[in-house]
Chains A and B, each alone.
Chain A
């Protein structure tokens, strides 16, 4: 069975400093992995996705994530945080075999001025 764990429920960083949001997954088969962002009172928007091509995935707004099979991780990073990055971020795993989609519990990112 597959699962996804977001290791931090809240992360605070200063504007201009790097962002790291951690995600670990468990899957019996080759997973597809996604990061979605949810700004306050909005729906979710796809940041990036991994579907067994390049292990380093670049997304929108300067975010990227690296798929590490040996560590079963898919951490989201950004070199320099911006105030507009303040939002909730969800790591998502899906396995094509049974087409189940599992969302992590989310990490709320706070940006300090």
Chain B
């Protein structure tokens, strides 16, 4: 158990809809990372937050947004969903904001868009 929690575990929705994925980092970790894992694209870094502020941006679509709240939990919002957004979404946390620290991964949220 990494100490990172993600809810929900599974999410099934329809095209055009909007969903919110939630992540709670390990106690004491200030950074939260979001990743998308799909069969065709592999593991893609989406975005990182550090202590409430956006720190780094990867291949995140404009339809997607994220935020980190004062209690350090984070939410990833996916809107105008398309079939291709079906994937496993991971959240990870680390103690600091630098990319050379170990990241602890949550169990993921499996999103299915029908």
Contact = CB atoms under 8 A, between A and B. Distances in A.
Given A43-B107, A44-B105, A45-B105, A101 B55 contact: no
B56 A96 contact: no
Nearest to A94: B99
Interface residues of B, number: 25
Contact of A105 (B33, B35, B42): B42
Nearest to A44: B105
Q: Interface residues of A toward B: which range?
A: 20 to 34
B100 A90 contact: no
A49 B97 CA distance: 17
A21 B95 CA distance: 29
Interface in B70-114: 90, 92, 97-100, 102-108
Given A43-B2, A43-B4, A43-B106, A96 B42 contact: no
A16 B92 CA distance: 33
Secondary structure dominating the interface of A: strand
B43 interface: yes
Most chain A CB within 10 A, of B33, B48, B99, B107, is at B99
Interface in A27-80: 32, 34, 36, 42-46, 49, 51
Interface of B: 2, 4, 33, 35, 42-45, 48, 55-56, 58, 90, 92, 97-100, 102-108
27 contacts: A36-B105, A42-B107, A43-B105, A43-B106, A43-B107, A44-B92, A44-B103, A44-B105, A46-B104, A49-B102, A51-B100, A94-B100, A95-B99, A96-B98, A96-B100, A99-B55, A99-B56, A99-B97, A99-B99, A100-B45, A100-B58, A100-B99, A101-B33, A101-B56, A103-B42, A103-B43, A105-B42
Interface of A: 32, 34, 36, 42-46, 49, 51, 90, 94-96, 99-103, 105-106
Given A96-B99, A99-B56, 5 more contacts: A43-B106, A44-B43, A44-B92, A45-B2, A99-B55
